[in-house]
Amino acid sequence: MSSPAALLQSDSLGSRLASRGDLTTFFMQLAAEIGADSYMLVAIVHDQDRNDARIVSSNWIFDAIELIGKRLIAGLAQGPLTVAPGIRPKPLVAAAAPGAQGLITGEEARLLDVLGHAEVYSLRLNVGRQRLFALFSAAEAGKIDQPALMKAQLKCCYALSTIPQLIAAAAMQDPLSDRERECLFWVSEGKTTDEVAVILGVSSNTVNSYITHAIQKFAASNRAMAIATAIRSGII
Amino acid sequence: MKHADIKAAAEALFNEQRNPFGAFSISSETHHAVTIPDAVRRCRWIAVDINASAFGLYFVSPSPERARLVPSFDSDYPATAVATKFIAGANGEEMVRHSGTSTAPRWWADDGIADSDAVFQNLAWAERAAPLAPGTNGIAFPVHADRGHCGLVVFLGSTIALPEDTLYEIHARCFSLFAAVARIRPNDAGRMRSISKRELECLKLTANGNTSEEIARLLKLSVHTANQYLTQSTQKLNAVNRNQAVAKALRLGLIE
């Protein structure tokens, strides 16, 4: 039986992604190259105290996502095992998980193992200022090639950099206009409305309206919360 | 001195932990105990590995108003190389815009030597860009670290050797180097008086959009006390008001 990766294999995929289909093909090929069975590309969306996972692309079976839950997936993606490019990755091994990492419970680990995620690696991806997470997992522990995984992490960053609009839309992390972002930045530097107006050379009313719009877009209740949301999602 | 000799000398001198490819683990002690001379040394090591003649590390200034590159160090450390003046000037602006949306390395070839750009042409994901410093060949790697730090590691040289397979490794090492430099970048962390747990709780609730009255109710304090905690933490963070205190605490990683 040919693997899904082989079915999707296409020579047309050069060094540039153009569509969602390309994204799937790219990740399928990459997973096969490094010895992983599954991949998941996740954006983290901050909503007050909660972090939710927005899945951009994945070949996890639907039931695995439903059973494990997006909250846990967000936890995995942002947990202490997640590494930035250039840091040697450490896997979450389901068999050894309970207590060891404090990330997931024994029951959740068992569930992951049964669903074909005996080991899970979590990688941070930087696509410009946007930040995404890639989870690569295999049905047997030790199957994923670590040095290849470290190279794959950069390759993911490069590939996703060729489709910035798609990534921004999927992550929806930066809904602000340039002016709104600038205003919010200066407010986060402790400037008052009047000071920002002088810095940007516009009237105070204009500054207030930019900031009000930013607050509305983030569904925040005040300036402090809008600033916090913007910093957490790496916008300012 | 031949390239191989320099490499052997560097290897003997700097005996760095290079596992699995020069990147060190986040848990290793060297990650915290790094100084600028250490960072220069590590950057020189990367330059030697790709046969570059000069290098530099730059921060993208966080102000959206004036997007520019702020030099951290270059191969003439502790002095400043001529190339850095170009890179930190107008030449860097386009590169800063690029690094906001893309992590792909960008290269340029302007040394006037025929075919000296062949090494870059073979790199699948790297893009051609305008020269960062006139009359040079070079490649710039966008890098990112925690707390939204964003930067660029630049290598210059007419005889850079960079096979496609090494590109990922070199970029990964740039990321790890930049993360170390971003940590030692002067911020207020060292000089700051310690902030109490209660003050941090109040800051966190403020970041989540709560007013002083709400914080007082949630933490079972009087409104006066909640305000006092916030004023104290604002002072300790050297901030002028609550908004800046929240921003600083988030950027320093005091609250999540």
Residues from chain A that touch B240, judged by Cβ atoms under 8 A, are 190
Residues from chain B that touch A150, judged by Cβ atoms under 8 A, are 20-21, 23, 168-169, 172
Q: What is the CATH number of the domain that holds A214?
A: 1.10.10.10
DSSP B61: P
Judged by CB atoms within 8 Å, which residues 141-160 of B form the interface with A? 142, 144-146, 148, 150
Q: What is the CATH number of the domain that holds A79?
A: 3.30.450.80
B106-109 and B127-128: which strand pairing?
A: parallel
A199 touches chain B (CB under 8 A): yes
Query: What pLDDT does A96 receive?
Result: 75
- B224 and B142 within one domain: no
Q: Of A127, A76, A178, which is closest to residue B102 (Cα–Cα)?
A: A127
Residues of chain B with pLDDT under 70: 1-33, 62-66, 185-193
Could you tell me the pLDDT band of residue A98, with boundaries at 50, 70 and 90? low
Contact yes or no for B108/B123 (Cβ under 8 A):
no
Neighbour tally for A106: CB within 10 Å: 11
Q: What is the count of structural domains for chain A? A: 2
pTM of model > 0.90: no
- B117 and B7 within one domain: yes
Query: What pLDDT does B21 receive?
Result: 39
Residues from chain B that touch A182, judged by Cβ atoms under 8 A, are 64-65
* A126 to B144: CB separation less than 8 angstroms, yes or no: yes
Residues from chain A that touch B142, judged by Cβ atoms under 8 A, are 126, 128
Out of B64, B175, B241, name the one closest to residue A84 (CB).
B175
Percent of chain A exceeding pLDDT 70 equals: 86
Query: What pLDDT does A121 receive?
Result: 94
ipTM of the complex: 0.73
Query: What pLDDT does A6 receive?
Result: 47
Domain of residue B228: give its range: 197-251
Out of A130, A153, A224, name the one closest to residue B209 (CB).
A224
Residue B108 counted as domain residue: yes
Q: Of B1, B31, B49, B178, which is closest to residue A126 (Cα–Cα)?
A: B178
Judged by CB atoms within 8 Å, which residues 25-44 of B form the interface with A? 25-26
- A158 and A182 within one domain: no
Contact yes or no for B126/B106 (Cβ under 8 A):
yes
Q: Of A92, A55, A100, which is closest to residue A73 (Cα–Cα)?
A: A55
A164 touches chain B (CB under 8 A): yes
Judged by CB atoms within 8 Å, which residues 85-114 of B form the interface with A? 99-104
A220 touches chain B (CB under 8 A): yes
Q: What is the count of structural domains for chain B? A: 2
Calculate how close chain B gets to A67, using CA atoms only, in Å: 27
Q: What is the CATH number of the domain that holds B100?
A: 3.30.450.80
Average pLDDT rounded to a whole number, residues A69-79: 85
Domain end position, chosen among B184, B206, B229:
B184
Query: What pLDDT does A112 receive?
Result: 87
Residues from chain B that touch A199, judged by Cβ atoms under 8 A, are 65
- B157 and B207 within one domain: no
Q: Of B6, B75, B69, B11, which is closest to residue B39 (Cα–Cα)?
A: B75
Residue B147 counted as domain residue: yes
Query: What pLDDT does A174 receive?
Result: 67
Contact yes or no for B167/B190 (Cβ under 8 A):
no
Out of A49, A88, A126, name the one closest to residue B23 (CB).
A88
- A186 and A213 within one domain: yes
- A217 and A101 within one domain: no
Residue B141 counted as domain residue: yes
* A86 to B101: CB separation less than 8 angstroms, yes or no: no
Tell me the C-alpha to C-alpha distance, in Å, between residue A1 and each of A6, B91, B97. Answer: 10, 54, 47
Count of CB pairs separated by less than 8 Å, A with B: 153
Could you tell me the pLDDT band of residue A10, with boundaries at 50, 70 and 90? very low
- A167 and A183 within one domain: no
Question: Is 70 exceeded by the pLDDT of residue A232?
Answer: yes
Q: What is the pLDDT of residues B52-68, one digit of tens each?
A: 999 999 988 765 556 78
Domain end position, chosen among B163, B184, B205:
B184
Q: What is the pLDDT of residues A38-70, one digit of tens each?
A: 999 998 876 655 677 888 899 999 988 988 888
- A89 and A200 within one domain: no
Q: Of A105, A106, A76, which is closest to residue A91 (Cα–Cα)?
A: A76
